[in-house]
C-alpha cells in the first residue's frame, strides 16, 4: 500500500472506533476518535495508563479549537498563531461535549495541532479530533520511531503509520491558561524562551491546589535501567566494578572511560540532542547495564526539556 492508502485505511479505523499509532513531529501518538469514549478507553487499556491521566486532543486546523473549548485566552491565540502547527499544547476550559474519559474528569482540555504531514492528513481524513497520548506503555519513554511502537505495543494496536524518526524527539511544551498568568506545565519542543518572547512571563511552578500534568509525576519517561544524573570524577571509582553506559551531550573528556556511550549531538546542538534523546536511552536500555550515567546538559532552549526528562528518568520516586 502507498502511504496515502495506508493513511486512508488508518482514518477509516479511527472512524470505526479503532486505535492507530501515528507519527508527529515530537513523538509517536496512539490515537482514537476523541468523541468515542470506548475507543479512548482502549487507548488507556493498551497503555496500561491510570485513567486519571488526561489526553491531548490533536486537531488539523486552529479553527477547531473554538469547537472544543469555552473561550480562547488572547495569549493562547498568540501562541497558536506563532507556533501551530508545532510542538505546543495549550490547556483551556473544555466544552461540555468532550467525553470525561478524555480529560480524566478535569474541566479542562489540552489541545495541539501537530506539525507532521501524516498526522495532519490522518486527522483531516478521520473527520474528528484525535485524542492521543504518546504510544508507549505508561511510565516508559515515548517512542520516536515506528519500530519503537512495534516493539512495545505491536499487536495491540490496529495499525501503525510509519513516518520515520520524529524530528523534534521530545514531547510538546504544555502551557495552561486557566489562571491570569499562563503556566508552563511541561517543558518540551518549543522552548520557554520562545514562548516568553511572544506572551511575556510564564509561570513555571504550578500551585499545589491545581492538578498538575500527570506527566509531571517524578517517575515518568523512565527506562528499565537505573539512570544517575549527577556525574562527578568520583563516579569512575564508585562504579568501576559495574556495567555502566554513558549518555553525554558531546564527546566527553578522556577521563570518562565508560562504554557503551551515546553522544546526543557531536556539535552540542540542543535541538539535535532532543531529537536523539529517547532513541539513545532505548539503545542503552536494551544492553542489560547496571547503570546509565547521564551528564547534565545546559538548561537553555531545548536543554530544559531534555533535563526535565532525564531528571524524571533518574527519579526513584513514583
Residues that bind Mg ion (CB under 5 A): 134
Q: Count of residues binding ligand TXA (CB under 6 A)?
A: 27
Q: Which residue, 141 or 291, has its beta carbon nearer to ligand TXA?
A: 141
Task: Pick what 109 binds: ligand TXA, Mg ion, none; C-beta below 5 to 8 Å, kind-dependent.
Answer: ligand TXA
Cα-Cα-Cα-Cα torsion 169, 273, 265, 146, nearest 10 degrees, comes to -20
Contact between 75 and ligand TXA per CB under 6 A: no
Which residue in 48, 50, 40 sits closest to 20, CA to CA?
Answer: 40
**Region binding ligand TXA by CB under 6 A among candidate stretches 22-30, 259-267, 274-282, 296-304:** 22-30
Give the Å distances, CA to CA, from 90 to 72, 80, 124, 210, 243.
10, 8, 20, 16, 42
Contact between 54 and ligand TXA per CB under 6 A: yes
Task: Pick what 56 binds: ligand TXA, Mg ion, none; C-beta below 5 to 8 Å, kind-dependent.
Answer: ligand TXA
Give the Å distances, CA to CA, from 183 to 60, 66, 179, 302.
24, 21, 8, 17
Which parts of 188-217 interact with ligand TXA (CB under 6 A)?
A: 213-215
Which residue in 48, 43, 9, 50 sits closest to 28, CA to CA?
Answer: 43
- E strands, 102-157, in order: 108-112, 130-132
Cell of residue 103, nine digits = 480529560
The DSSP symbol for 89 reads E
Contact between 69 and ligand TXA per CB under 6 A: no
Question: Shortest approach of ligand TXA to residue 168 CB, angstroms?
Answer: 8
For the beta carbon of residue 92, count every other beta carbon within 10 angstroms. Answer: 20
Cβ–Cβ < 8 Å for 143, 282 = no
| Cα 219 from chain centre | 14
Contact between 171 and ligand TXA per CB under 6 A: yes
Question: Shortest approach of ligand TXA to residue 211 CB, angstroms?
Answer: 7
Contact between 41 and ligand TXA per CB under 6 A: no
What does the alpha-carbon distance between residue 87 and residue 62 come to, in Å, rounded to a whole number? 14
The mark string for 111-150 relative to ligand TXA (x by CB under 6 A, - otherwise) is: ---x-----------------xxx----------------
Question: Shortest approach of ligand TXA to residue 242 CB, angstroms?
Answer: 31
The DSSP symbol for 203 reads B
Question: For ligand TXA, which residue of 39, 91, 113, 199 counts as binding (CB under 6 A)?
Answer: 91
Contact between 29 and ligand TXA per CB under 6 A: yes
Question: Shortest approach of Mg ion to residue 73 CB, angstroms?
Answer: 25
Residues that bind ligand TXA (CB under 6 A): 24, 26-27, 29, 53-56, 87, 89, 91, 103, 106, 108-110, 114, 132-134, 171-172, 174, 185, 213-215
Amino acid at each position: 500500500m502507498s502511504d496515502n492508502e495506508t493513511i486512508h485505511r488508518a482514518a477509516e479505523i479511527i472512524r470505526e472506533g479503532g486505535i492507530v499509532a501515528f507519527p508527529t513531529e515530537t513523538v509517536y501518538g496512539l490515537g482514537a476518535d476523541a468523541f468515542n469514549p470506548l475507543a479512548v478507553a482502549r487507548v488507556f487499556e493498551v497503555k496500561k495508563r491510570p485513567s486519571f491521566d488526561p489526553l491531548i486532543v490533536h486537531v488539523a486546523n486552529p479553527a477547531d479549537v473554538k469547537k472544543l473549548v469555552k473561550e480562547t485566552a488572547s495569549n493562547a491565540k498568540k501562541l497558536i498563531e506563532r507556533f501551530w502547527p508545532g510542538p505546543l499544547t495549550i490547556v483551556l476550559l473544555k466544552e461540555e461535549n468532550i467525553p470525561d474519559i478524555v480529560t480524566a474528569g478535569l474541566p479542562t482540555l489540552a489541545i495541539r495541532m501537530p506539525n507532521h504531514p501524516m498526522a495532519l492528513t490522518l486527522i483531516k481524513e478521520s473527520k474528528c479530533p484525535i485524542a492521543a497520548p504518546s504510544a508507549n506503555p505508561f511510565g516508559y519513554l515515548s517512542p520516536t520511531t515506528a519500530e519503537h511502537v512495534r516493539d512495545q505495543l505491536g499487536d495491540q494496536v490496529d495499525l501503525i503509520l510509519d513516518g520515520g524518526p520524529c524530528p523534534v524527539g521530545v514531547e510538546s511544551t504544555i502551557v495552561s491558561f486557566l489562571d491570569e498568568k499562563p503556566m508552563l506545565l511541561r517543558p518540551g519542543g518549543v522552548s520557554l524562551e520562545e514562548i516568553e518572547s511572544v506572551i511575556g512571563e510564564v509561570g513555571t511552578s504550578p500551585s499545589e491546589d491545581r492538578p498538575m500534568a500527570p506527566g509531571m509525576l517524578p517517575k515518568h519517561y523512565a527506562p528499565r535501567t537505573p539512570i544517575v544524573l549527577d556525574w562527578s570524577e568520583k563516579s569512575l571509582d564508585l562504579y568501576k566494578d559495574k556495567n555502566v553506559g554513558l549518555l553525554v551531550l558531546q564527546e566527553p573528556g578522556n577521563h570518562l572511560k565508560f562504554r557503551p556511550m551515546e553522544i546526543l549531538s557531536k556539535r552540542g546542538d540542543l535541538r539535535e540532542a532532543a531529537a536523539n534523546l529517547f532513541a539513545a536511552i532505548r539503545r542503552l536500555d536494551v544492553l542489560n547495564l547496571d547503570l546509565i550515567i547521564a551528564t547534565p546538559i545546559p538548561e537553555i532552549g531545548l536543554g530544559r526539556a531534555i533535563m526535565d526528562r532525564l531528571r524524571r528518568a533518574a527519579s526513584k520516586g513514583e
